[in-house]
Amino acid sequence: MTEFFFKSSPGYLIRRGIRAFLATGIACAATASIAAYPDRPITLVVPFAPGGSSDNIARSIAPMLSERLGQSIVIENVSGAGGLLGTQRTIRAQADGYTILLGSESEILINKVINPALAYDGMRDLTPTVFVGTGPMVLIGKSSLPAATVPELLALARAKPGSLSYASAGNGTPMHVAGELLKMQAKINMTHVPYRGAAPALVDLLGGQIDLGVSTLSAAQSHIKSGKIRAYAITGAKPSELAPDIPALGAMPGLEGFDLGVWFGLFVPAKTPPDIVQKVQTAAQQVLSDPAVRKKLAEQGISASGASADVLRKFMNDEVEKYQAVVKAANITAQ
């Protein structure tokens, strides 16, 4: 028999009291969980292979971030598909602050610009916590190439159309976009070879299996200094303070306006409680303001930021518009 209760009946009042008690209990438990955060190890996802710039940055900030948050941080490299796999790993994780992504524009923004049918939207499905920093990219080549400068390199590419290959950290990465923009503006033809991160691309470049590469300065800098590879130019409008001896593509005749770099931030899954986001932001800002950390990042070609999540979000909105224009002009499509 179905039971009916009037709002003044004892049964109704009892049920309403039980619901209120349970709701209060759940709210108190959630509040206690946020207050206790973090009470177990945190996973820091790096969406590229070990040895690349993202990995180097993560390993530079993780020890002090662990100290500030009072928990160990486990770095998990989930490489492949231009950062897509590691990003999806983070988006699908519980929104509880225990999975953090060291993200960059490729996996957060560019993948979606190139492929609107992508299953996720980094702007929608991730919450920024802190702006880690920015860095230049650099056009590099194997030491045996018969071209010592950018003009000589472009002349070689025009003399032998399609004969030169260039590596990137993956399809849809800033390195890929920069390479295609160079082809378009310089009117040359090169073959793009995507890798599962900057580190494996550099291995083949060092081994002479590939001619050129576009890499972050942070990943390539030690090899440039050792003379094992040649640095042709920074992919920006002017030389970088981090490598003032390397010329800029955007300052060369015919390549005016060429200005592409990389940036990095810490992200958590959307719907992560604001109090937890704030805790991560505060701890990360303390880390990024430390002189030793800033010096270590500078040595890797990264200018530390530490700006808030709101600043990073606004910056990302501007970046989306810039990459939409470049992807359209260079006719870059999903592969």
Do residue 103 and residue 146 come from a single domain? no
DSSP-based three-state secondary structure for 261: strand
* Residue at 203 is within a domain: yes
Q: What is the pLDDT of residues 257-297, one digit of tens each?
A: 898 889 999 999 999 999 999 999 999 999 999 999 999 99
- The answer to whether 65 touches 284, Cβ cutoff 8 Å, is yes
Interstrand relation of 303-304 and 126-142 (parallel, antiparallel or unpaired):
antiparallel
Mean pLDDT on 325-331: 84
Tell which of 196, 227, 251 closes a domain: 251
Tell which of 251, 286, 320 closes a domain: 251
Tell which of 222, 251, 280 closes a domain: 251
CB within 8 Å of 85: residues ≥ 6 apart:
47, 78, 79
Q: What is the model's pLDDT at position 27?
A: 45
Going by pLDDT thresholds of 50, 70 and 90, the confidence category of residue 5 is very low
Q: What is the pLDDT of residues 61-71, one digit of tens each?
A: 999 999 999 99
Measured torsion, CA atoms of residues 308, 83, 121, 35, in degrees rounded to the nearest 10: -50
As to burial, measured by CB atoms within 10 angstroms (0-12 exposed, 13-18 middle, 19+ buried), residue 91 is buried
* Residue at 191 is within a domain: yes
- The answer to whether 212 touches 100, Cβ cutoff 8 Å, is no
CB within 8 Å of 301: residues ≥ 6 apart:
53, 135, 136, 216, 217, 218, 219, 220, 221, 240, 242, 243
Q: What is the model's pLDDT at position 71?
A: 97
How many domains is the chain partitioned into structurally? Answer: 2
CA distance 52 to 196: 10
* Residue at 14 is within a domain: no
CB within 8 Å of 179: residues ≥ 6 apart:
166, 168, 190, 192, 214
Q: What is the pLDDT of residues 123-167, one digit of tens each?
A: 999 999 999 999 889 999 999 999 999 999 999 999 999 999 999
Do residue 238 and residue 173 come from a single domain? yes
CA distance 50 to 56: 8
The whole-model pTM stands at 0.77
For the cut 90, the answer to whether the pLDDT of residue 169 exceeds it is no
- Return contacts of 16-23, CB within 8 angstroms, 24+ apart: none
Residue 245's CATH number:
3.40.190.10
CA distance 122 to 252: 34
Residue 126's CATH number:
3.40.190.150
For the cut 60, the answer to whether the pLDDT of residue 205 exceeds it is yes
Instruction: Report CA-CA distances (Å) from 327 to 115, 331, 334.
Output: 10, 6, 11
The two structure tokens encoding residue 195: 């890798």
CA distance 47 to 70: 24
**Phi and psi angles of residue 254, each rounded to the nearest 5 degrees, phi first:** 90, -10
* Residue at 33 is within a domain: no
Q: What is the model's pLDDT at position 327?
A: 87
Do residue 247 and residue 267 come from a single domain? no
CB within 8 Å of 28: residues ≥ 6 apart:
none
Do residue 92 and residue 109 come from a single domain? yes
* Residue at 315 is within a domain: yes
Helix axes 53-69, 217-226, angle to 10 degrees: 120
Per the structure, the complete domain to which residue 274 belongs is given by: 41-134+262-330
Q: What is the model's pLDDT at position 253?
A: 92
Q: What is the pLDDT of residues 35-92, one digit of tens each?
A: 789 999 999 999 988 888 899 999 999 999 999 999 999 999 998 887 899 999 999 9
- The answer to whether 284 touches 306, Cβ cutoff 8 Å, is yes
